[in-house]
Amino acid sequence: MPVQRLATAPQPVPLGRETLPARRGQWARALTHLASLVPLALLIWDGAQGQLTVNPIQEITQRTGKTALALLVLSLACTPANRVLGLRVALLLRRPLGLYAFLYASLHLLTFFVLDYGLDVELIWGAVAEKRYVLAGLGAFVLLVPLALTSTRGWMRRLGRRWKPLHRLVYLAASLAVLHYVWLVKADIREPLLYGAAVAVLLGLRLPPVRRALASLRLALSAS
Ligand code: HEM
């Protein structure tokens, strides 16, 4: 009976005006949670085994910093993945990826302030004032705080039209994080530049002329 079939069919997950089969979305979300927690689990495991190199604080700072940046870039890639590649499932992953990026950035910051600088306000202030890479990192983190706090559906509703422009700040946060990385490496800047290129491409894909060109390309491809 059609009515019964409707009742047992997986319910679509609302995505604004779009919908997605619930099961595919759930699997993708579960995998995202799992994959995002792996670096933290490895960090805890290696710490418990005493395998965090001879400089554990530096190792924790580096691992948490790199994971935060990688997840931030992945969260930025979700909207273009939907628009350019038609991967609607990516829209469901944007928020968890962004929140995990914030989690790792918080751990990164705590490692620096608590473990490295022993919460010594004078020392920390000195580092912020003297080291431009610390200032850039702090700027990136400060921008991420309101984005993480307002990422819930409730805040989306409350902020209405202002939510989108606020959340565009994520591009500035990612750019500052890349600058932070470029400024702190001493010799080989290939990796930070790679992250920089990724952020630039993802930002470029949001520009209206590029979006229009891609939309007409997709239309032409689907018509042929
Ligand atoms: C107040 C804020 C921040 C401070 C004080 C800070 C501090 C540091 C320090 C001291 C290092 C160098 C570790 C070392 O090689 O000895 C580092 C590395 C790094 N940080 Fe930050 N950071 C901050 C915010 C951020 C944020 C928000 C992100 C990303 C979202 C980030 C991403 C990175 C990356 C990718 C590295 C390089 C890791 C590597 O060398 O493999 N940092 N940070």
Q: pLDDT digits over 57-90, tens only?
A: 999 999 999 999 999 999 999 999 998 888 999 9
Query: pLDDT tens digits for 24-33?
Result: 889 999 999 9
H helix or E strand, kind and range, residue 19: strand 18-20
pLDDT of 23 reads 81
DSSP 188: -
> Structure tokens of 25?
């979305």
In this structure, what are the phi and psi dihedrals at residue 89, rounded to the nearest 5 degrees? -60, -25
* pLDDT of the residue at 86: 87
Identify whether the C-beta of residue 60 lies closer than 8 Å to the C-beta of residue 77: no
> What integer is the mean pLDDT of 171-194?
96
Share of the chain above pLDDT 90, in %: 82
Whether the CB-CB separation of 53 and 59 falls below 8 Å is answered with yes
Query: 88 near 18, Cβ under 8 Å?
Result: yes
Q: Cα separation of 161 and 202, whole Å?
A: 22
Distance CA 196, CA 182 (A): 9
CA–CA separation, 140 and 143 (whole Å):
5
**Which one of 52, 59, 61 would you pick to mutate in the ligand 1 pocket, going by the greatest count of ligand atoms within 8 A of its CB?**
61
Distance between Cα 65 and ligand 1 center (Å):
5
CB 182 within 8 A of CB 192: yes
Q: Is 77 in the pocket of ligand 1 (CB under 6 A)?
A: no
Ligand 1 atom at minimum distance from 61 CA: 13
> How far apart are alpha carbons 114 and 192 in whole angstroms?
25
Delimit the domains of the chain by residue range.
54-77+95-208
- Ligand 1 mutation pick, 64, 69, 74, 108, max ligand atoms within 8 A of CB: 108
Kindly give the distance from the C-alpha atom of residue 48 to the centroid of ligand 1, in angstroms, as a whole number.
Answer: 23
Asked if 15 and 88 count as a contact pair (C-beta separation under 8 A), the reply is: yes
What Å distances lie between residue 187 and 65, 181, 182, 190, CA to CA?
18, 12, 10, 9
Ligand 1 atom 31 nearest Cα: 65
Whether 112 is in the pocket of ligand 1, judged by its Cβ within 6 Å, is yes
Whole-angstrom distance, CA of residue 215 vs CA of residue 209: 10
Return d(Cα 188, Cα 186) in angstroms, integer: 7
b/e per residue 101-137 (b: at least 16 CB within 10 A) = bbbbbbbbbebbbeebbeeeeeebeebeeeeeebbbb
Rounded CA gap, 12 and 36, in Å? 25
Task: Output the pLDDT for position 147.
Answer: 98
d(CA 84, ligand 1 centre) in Å: 31
User: What pLDDT is recorded for position 21?
Assistant: 64
**CA-nearest residue, atom 9 of ligand 1:** 61
pLDDT of residue 33: 98
Q: Is residue 95's pLDDT more than 90?
A: yes
